[in-house]
Structure formats: C-alpha cells, structure tokens
Structure 1
C-alpha cells in the first residue's frame, strides 16, 4: 500500500563527483537495505533529497530515472516518487532491446511464460487474498468492456496476468512474469489489431479466475496452460499476417 507520509531519512553519505547516476542508485539501495525506505514509501522532495546527497537536482533526476527504469521507483504525477510496492513496473524498452539483441523468439518467450504462469496460477489458487481476487475480477470486467478495442483489451489482459502472478505469494516469480510480460506486450501491441475475436480469450481468463477463486490449484494450472497454448497460436497467426502485410507494402513500393 502506498504510504503518503515521507519517512525522515538519516544523513546519507554525499555523492562524490563522477559516476553520479550510479552513486544515486547505490545510496537509494543503501536506504532500502537499512529499512529506512520500505515498499510504498514516498521519497523526500527533490530539493531535500538533492541536499542530503550533496548533488544538483538535475543529477538527482538522472539517478532517479535509472531507478524508475529498473522498476525500483514509480513516479506519480502530482503525488511524488515512491518505492514500488509489489512486483516492479519495469520499463519495457531496455527489456525489448535485450530481446532484440539476443534474438528471443516468441516460441521461447511463450515456453518461458508457460513454465512461470502455470505454476503462478496454482499458487494463486492457494494464496490469493480477497483484494487480489477483486483486482482479477476488475481486469476481466475491463476486458469485456474493451472487446471492440484491441489495444485496451491487451492492456487489461496483461494486467490480469500480473495480478495472478502477484497473488502467487512469490515476489520472485511475480517479477519474472513481469519481465516476460513487458517484452511480449511490446511485441503484441504491434500485431493485436489483426485479431478478429477476443471472446474466446475472455472466456479463458474467466476460467482461470473461477479456478483461483474456488481454490482449485490443479484446475487453475490446467486453465492457464490451455490459455497460453491458445494465445501462442493466436500470436503466431497475428505475426504471420503482419509479415504478409509488410511484404505486400514492400512489393507495392
């Protein structure tokens, strides 16, 4: 839960000149390790934190920007910058570049997703809280409302899977699911407009949710596994159609 009160921090070792960004990251990690900053805590105002670190505000912003990209911090307009509470909201751009660099195929990504998310669904059936079940239900309702809007449907689809992973009770697993989701989201948002019918996907998510809500781990794992297999086939078709479209445009040029 977000803590709107800002903790009073002890004097931090000033940042030395040179490698300012890296040292800002190290100082914030130091505060987290000393339990002076906890998940959900709001950072002190920019002016105060820059003074504590002995650096300029532009240098501080650069360091905080790195921590936001890492998923350690989250900025909320008008409210401040907070320590992330729960799985990190990772910046997908570095992950996407990493995927491009190493040539991650979508088959490998879906295989990884299956290994992670089938287990997460089973654990969620054992550990999900009432609030976490409510979050899953809300995302399904949003998917239903977005049946005619592929991009919005995808957003709530991804959010549902993040909610299931968070409900597993295993933050390491939830973080790994977040990483894979970030890469797949970047790839699928370019192709999902070619999908024709989201009703089947919606029903699959409902089946996963019902199994988790009913505390049936085996059914939750089976429903998640079937959903991922079908999603992989749908994604493969979308990418094939996208390649054909791009080739046709090249031929006409």
Structure 2
C-alpha cells in the first residue's frame, strides 16, 4: 500500500470514528479541514483530497462559507461504506475486487443484447469526454467511473447495479492512482472504446474479453 493510500485510510478512519462516537446524522457538520489535518498530523491538501473523494460518492457536501456536512441523501451510508470496504483487511479487498469483476463481466455479456440506444450513446459520450479531459491535462476519473456504471446499467438488471455500486464507489482513489501511471490513461480510453464497440456490435465474446483485459490492466 502506498503512502498516499495510507493517508487516505487514516483520514477515512478518523471520519468514521467521529461519526460513530459523536453519533452524527445526515445534515450534521464534520470537523474542518484544519481540525482533521491537526488530528492526523497530515497536510490539509491530503485531507481535502480525501474529502473530495467522499463528495464524489455523494456522501458529504461542502457548502461554501459553511463547512462540510453529511449528505441528507446518502449520509446514512457513510459509516457503512467506510467500515465495509476501506477498513477491512487485504482478503476483504480482494473479495470486493473479485466480485466487481464477476458482475461487470456478466453485465457486459448481457448488455450486448439489452443495452438501450440511450446507454450506448452515453458510453460513447463518456469516451469523448475522457479524451477531452485527458487532452486538457486532467485525469478522467469521474468519466471512467461513469463508463463502468453505464455498462452495468446496460444489463437492465437493477439488483446487479445495486450490488455493484458500493463495490466500486470506494475505489475512486485507487482509480485515480491507476490512471496516474505513465501511459495508462490513453490505454484505458482505448480499452473503453473496444468494450463499447463490442457491445454496440452485440459481440458477447469480444465484449467480455475486452473488459477482462481492461480490468487486468487497470490492476483492480
């Protein structure tokens, strides 16, 4: 585990502890970046990045001039998400990765027959947006996540999506690190294009093979 990951985990553990000990509820305010940084003896930029990850999950909300609050819509899941995924041992994280792979591969196979025109268009748009963000010198983390989400949605199996979502939302930090590897972003976009084309052509074998290759290369 990298030092950056350790910092994230420490910050998330601290947030989880605060929620548990203070019995915080949706709508309640979290400690400030400065307070979290002081407690953990880390830089405020590290705290800010961890909070940003939670905000992307729609678990917290930052209000300008007011602070950071547990989201009304998803805040009740925060402690559960942290305890279930971030704070478990290596074996548990392996199980999460394996289950994600199983769900996505099956979703890709089914999507070849069930994907709607709207979902296919969405995947195409996300690939284009990823290229644009990458061209602007940014990592397309959110676009990458949404591509996989749309892929699973294309199975038209709501239960599959509901199982997949918490398995993957926690890993956006790992996704950012994966895309940060030299040359990885470009290859990842190319792999998304191959997956999309296979689903568009209703080629189950190619879709599954392309997705399996993509997940292996992404080191999830």
TM above 0.5, yes or no, is: yes
TM, length-normalised to structure 1: 0.53
The residue number in structure 1 matching 2:181 is 195
Change (3 A) 1:166 1:92: farther
The residue number in structure 2 matching 1:102 is 88
1:69 aligns with 2:75: yes
Bigger CA drift: 176-185 or 99-108?
A: 99-108
The residue number in structure 1 matching 2:130 is 143
TM, length-normalised to structure 2: 0.60
Superimposed CA distance per residue, residues 21-49 of structure 1 (whole angstroms, 9 cap, x where no aligned partner): 8xxxxxxxxxxxxxxxxxxxxxxxxxxxx
The question of whether the paired residues in 2 share the 8 Å contact of 1:151 and 1:193 is answered with no
Q: 141, 154, 158: which is aligned to 1:171?
A: 158
Equivalences, count: 153
Higher Rg = 1
Q: 115, 128, 137: which is aligned to 2:102?
A: 115
Unaligned runs of 5+ in 1: 1-20, 22-61, 71-90, 236-253
* Whole-Å separation in 1 of the counterparts to 2:83 and 2:152: 24
The residue number in structure 2 matching 1:35 is none
The question of whether the paired residues in 2 share the 8 Å contact of 1:151 and 1:192 is answered with no
* Whole-Å separation in 1 of the counterparts to 2:196 and 2:139: 19
1:132 aligns with 2:131: no
* Whole-Å separation in 2 of the counterparts to 1:126 and 1:92: 35
Q: SS of the counterpart of 2:87?
A: helix
The question of whether the paired residues in 2 share the 8 Å contact of 1:146 and 1:152 is answered with yes
Q: 180, 185, 197: which is aligned to 1:210?
A: 197
The question of whether the paired residues in 2 share the 8 Å contact of 1:96 and 1:186 is answered with no
* Whole-Å separation in 2 of the counterparts to 1:137 and 1:214: 13
